[in-house]
């Protein structure tokens, strides 16, 4: 990248030195597990994945802590600035990891809308993606301790089949983040959120699938 272009990007507040305007654009949509310690924090899984994928890719973190996939949820992703930014980014690759907060009682009472809302989110973003764009839907990481109303039973017994249904309807690929972490409770200090090592393992798993 030419020095004058680099200086302009810095001036405009572009957050990653590894960004390649002609690279493969990867949008990471999700909740606090995607946002991590911060969207621009090197210990968030998207920025860790940027490092793994290299300069041929441009990975952006569009995670919003506490957000729900459900439009009637207590913090719908649809209403967040990051949703609009993800659309404007026009990704080549879309990774969606939403649903954990939807398992809370006040949100899951709207579960009948989950498949429809999720399908709409994916299809809406696909409209701005290239025809050969890749979409990945993540099965949420395990919940080792039900906290803040987040419930493992709902994620596994009820939500997981719905996510697979959305994947079939949208032509998306499924990334199972539950099974690889099912025996790694030590990576989830509060029972819900992975620590830096957990984020690193998640970044590696997803990066390997993207490169396949």
What's the CA gap between 52 and 172, in Å, rounded?
Answer: 23
* Spatial contact of 58 and 49, defined as CB atoms under 8 Å apart: no
- Angle, nearest 10°, between helix axes 81-89 and 114-126? 40
When mean pLDDT is compared across 14-28, 45-59, 170-184, the lowest value belongs to: 14-28
Could you please state the CATH topology (level 3) that the domain comprising 18-211 is classified under.
Rossmann fold (3.40.50)
pTM confidence score: 0.89
Domain locations in the chain as residue ranges: 18-211
Could you tell me the pLDDT band of residue 14, with boundaries at 50, 70 and 90?
very low
């Amino acid at each position: 990248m030419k020095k004058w272009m680099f200086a302009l990007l810095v001036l405009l507040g572009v957050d990653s030195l590894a960004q390649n305007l002609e690279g493969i654009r990867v949008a990471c949509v999700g909740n606090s597990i995607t946002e991590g310690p911060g969207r621009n924090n090197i210990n968030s899984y998207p920025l860790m994945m940027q490092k793994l994928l290299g300069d041929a890719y441009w990975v952006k973190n569009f995670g919003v802590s506490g957000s729900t996939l459900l439009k009637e949820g207590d913090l719908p992703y649809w209403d967040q600035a990051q949703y609009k930014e993800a659309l404007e980014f026009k990704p080549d690759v879309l990774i969606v990891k939403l649903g954990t907060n939807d398992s809370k009682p006040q949100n899951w009472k709207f579960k009948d809308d989950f498949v429809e809302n999720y399908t709409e989110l994916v299809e809406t973003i696909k409209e701005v993606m290239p025809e050969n764009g890749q979409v990945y839907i993540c099965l949420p990481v395990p919940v080792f301790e039900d906290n803040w109303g987040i419930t493992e039973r709902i994620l596994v017994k009820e939500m997981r089949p719905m996510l697979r249904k959305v994947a079939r309807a949208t032509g998306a690929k499924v990334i199972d983040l539950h099974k690889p972490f099912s025996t790694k409770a030590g990576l989830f200090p509060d029972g819900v959120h992975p620590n830096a090592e957990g984020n690193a393992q998640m970044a590696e798993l997803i990066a390997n699938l993207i490169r396949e």
